[in-house]
Amino acid sequence: MISFVFGQPEDFTRMSMIDKTVIASEQSVLATNKVLRNTYMLLSMTLLFSALTAGLSMALNLPHPGLLLTLGGYFGLLFLTTKFRDSALGLAFVFALTGFMGYTLGPILNAYLAMANGGQVVMTAMGATGAIFLGLSGYALTTRKDFSFMGGFLMVGILVAFLAGLGAMFFEMPGLSLAVSSMFVLLMAGLILYETSNIIHGGETNYIMATVTLYVSIFNLFTSLLHLLGFMNSDE
């Protein structure tokens, strides 16, 4: 008779397992939402800080630090950010990294603004970058598709594009440089999809590293679009 009122012992075990699964699922969703919220908040702050340092660099007409110093500063600060990603120092280094990248962007923007219709080129690149980022992020967030399969392709593609970019710079090959910028536009778009999906599905749980990945995607997307639009403007 007891079984009719309270059910079989197996039912209690099954219900307990279901409850644990539901609780775990809810905790996972809460954790993911927290990472997303912190990532977009920190990303907004770093973009503003980067814009500030770029503006100061432009106002002071500072020279570009050059390729070697740029790469050394970027990879050095990236290493420190990664090493201290679980501490408050990680936040300090992520602002140092994005501020440094903003500083390197200032002289580039001044060069484009000195061109005919340079202001229009810069604003178009900025608007296109924002539209692409918001559109791809929104797509990944609403569809919740898993883009983890793109990881290997993106890693190889970015490495190839980076080496090709160095080759185009050293050997002064404008055609290859344009091809590299086109590749980076596609690769950075893919990286935005990949990283957003990675956060949603629990692959990335550190909001500092998620911020760095998205910031670098936006930075490279903007500079690549700037290069392409600047070239098209110079041909007019």
For residues 72 and 78, give the distance between their C-alpha atoms in angstroms, rounded to a whole number: 10
- Is residue 8 one of the residues assigned to a domain? no
Look at residue 95 in the predicted model and tell me its pLDDT: 97
Taking 50 as the threshold, does the pLDDT of residue 2 lie above it?
Answer: no
CA neighbor of 226 nearest in space, from 98, 129, 97: 129
Look at residue 30 in the predicted model and tell me its pLDDT: 76
Look at residue 1 in the predicted model and tell me its pLDDT: 39
> What domain count does the chain have?
1
- CB-count exposure of residue 23 (10 Å: 0-12, 13-18, 19+): exposed
Structural domain for 124, as ranges: 34-235
DSSP string, 149-163: GGHHHHHHHHHHHHH
Look at residue 32 in the predicted model and tell me its pLDDT: 84
For residues 123 and 114, give the distance between their C-alpha atoms in angstroms, rounded to a whole number: 14
pTM above 0.75, yes or no: yes
Tracing tokens 């670098």 back to the chain, one arrives at 216
CB 208 within 8 A of CB 97: no
Structure-token pair, residue 126: 């900025």
Look at residue 31 in the predicted model and tell me its pLDDT: 77
Taking 80 as the threshold, does the pLDDT of residue 130 lie above it?
Answer: yes
Mean pLDDT of 129-139: 97
Mean pLDDT of 201-228: 95
- Is residue 136 one of the residues assigned to a domain? yes
* pLDDT tens column, 80-126: 999 999 999 999 999 999 999 999 999 999 999 999 899 999 999 99
In the structure, what pLDDT confidence band is assigned to residue 11 with cuts at 50, 70 and 90? low
% of residues, the chain, pLDDT over 90: 79
- Is residue 9 one of the residues assigned to a domain? no
Structure-token pair, residue 218: 């936006």
- Is residue 19 one of the residues assigned to a domain? no
- Is residue 10 one of the residues assigned to a domain? no
Q: What is the mean pLDDT of the chain?
A: 89
Q: First and final CA of the chain: distance in angstroms?
A: 89
For residues 100 and 90, give the distance between their C-alpha atoms in angstroms, rounded to a whole number: 15
